[in-house]
């Protein structure tokens, strides 16, 4: 089957999950499709119609409503536009972009224009943080403020470490089909070894079994590529994060910005209060 899904049945199951995730938000929303040079992009609009517009980029091999559910605090003060990343599970076109070039930045730039804005507050988590970093290299003038939550694309963990921490358990799961190995493979993504919540486990499980998962994260941006990165920037970096270790997170530019928070702090209301005051 062409596209990102392994089978038509798998695609249907992901679309059903998407609709359940969307309804579980229990908020009013508006859906639209906009055109970019890479294809059509599906965008959800939620939140305060009178608030500042904020463009949200979700994590990899995930969906916009899944990530929104983790960030409902945004809806009180912001008019949130959450795009389904092109080439990932969701309702956008299935064209997979290059993680090693600035294609994701070009896509995000097109998206801002298609939504009718000259610039927006932009926020990205994990893979979405990498998209935002690429955007700020490609079209920094379109980002009024940037918030990156444990972002890819700035200081990715070495592939060798990931092979040990996640790759070996995944190979054991594929060989044995035992649930304990599946959960162990993704435990490095969870804070302090706590059990994975049901929504996250369902998202990961369906993506793994039914999507041709692209394991490549947005490549680290080069220092020279971010010389114009001078907009107010806030980074929430997990000091012990297995994928994007916070101790190495910096923004390129005249003034390096680094905020180190443990993953546990990111789960507290305190972290969200910091974000709300910063914007």
Residue 68, pLDDT score:
94
Cα–Cα distance for residue pair 68/82, rounded to 1 Å: 8
Cα–Cα distance for residue pair 22/16, rounded to 1 Å: 10
Q: Going along the chain, which residue ranges are E strands?
A: 30-36, 39-47, 52-57, 78-83, 120-125, 143-149, 233-238, 260-261
Residue 80, pLDDT score:
98
Residue 149, pLDDT score:
85
Q: What CATH class has 8-157+215-278?
A: alpha beta
Predicted structure pTM score: 0.78
Sign of CA dihedral 261, 265, 271, 274: negative
Residue 219, pLDDT score:
75
| Residue pointed to by tokens 């927006």 | 120
How confident is the prediction along the chain (279 residues), in pLDDT tens digits per residue? 678 999 999 999 999 999 999 999 999 999 999 999 999 999 999 999 999 999 999 988 889 999 999 899 999 999 999 999 999 999 999 999 998 899 999 999 999 999 999 999 999 998 899 999 899 888 999 999 999 887 876 755 555 555 556 666 667 666 677 666 666 665 655 555 566 677 877 888 888 888 887 777 787 776 544 445 678 888 876 665 544 454 554 544 433 433 333 333 333 333 334 344 444
| Ranges for all domains in the chain classified under CATH 3.40.50.1820 | 8-157+215-278
């Amino acid at each position: 089957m062409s596209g990102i899904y392994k089978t038509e049945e798998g695609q249907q199951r992901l679309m059903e999950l998407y609709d359940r995730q969307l309804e579980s938000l229990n908020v009013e929303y508006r859906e639209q499709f906009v055109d970019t040079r890479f294809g059509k992009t599906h965008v959800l609009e939620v939140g305060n119609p009178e608030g500042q517009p904020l463009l949200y980029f979700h994590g990899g091999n995930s969906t916009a409503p899944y990530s929104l559910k983790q960030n409902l605090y945004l809806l009180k003060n912001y008019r949130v536009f959450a795009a389904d990343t092109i080439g990932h599970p969701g309702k956008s076109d299935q064209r997979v972009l290059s993680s090693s070039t600035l294609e994701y930045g070009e896509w995000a730039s097109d998206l801002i224009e298609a939504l009718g804005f000259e610039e927006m507050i932009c926020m990205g988590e994990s893979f979405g943080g990498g998209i935002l970093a690429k955007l700020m290299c490609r079209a920094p003038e379109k980002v009024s403020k940037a918030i990156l939550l444990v972002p890819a694309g700035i200081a990715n963990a070495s592939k060798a470490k990931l092979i040990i921490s996640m790759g070996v358990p995944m190979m054991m799961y594929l060989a044995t089909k035992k649930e304990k190995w599946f959960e162990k493979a993704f435990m490095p993504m969870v804070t302090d070894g706590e059990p994975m919540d049901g929504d996250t486990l369902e998202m990961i499980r369906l993506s793994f079994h039914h999507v041709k998962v692209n394991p490549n994260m947005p490549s680290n941006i080069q220092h020279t590529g971010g010389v114009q990165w001078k907009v107010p920037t806030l980074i929430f970096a997990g000091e012990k994060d297995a994928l994007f270790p916070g101790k190495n997170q910096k923004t390129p530019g005249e003034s390096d910005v680094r905020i180190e928070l443990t993953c546990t702090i990111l789960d507290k209301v305190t972290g969200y209060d910091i974000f709300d005051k910063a914007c």
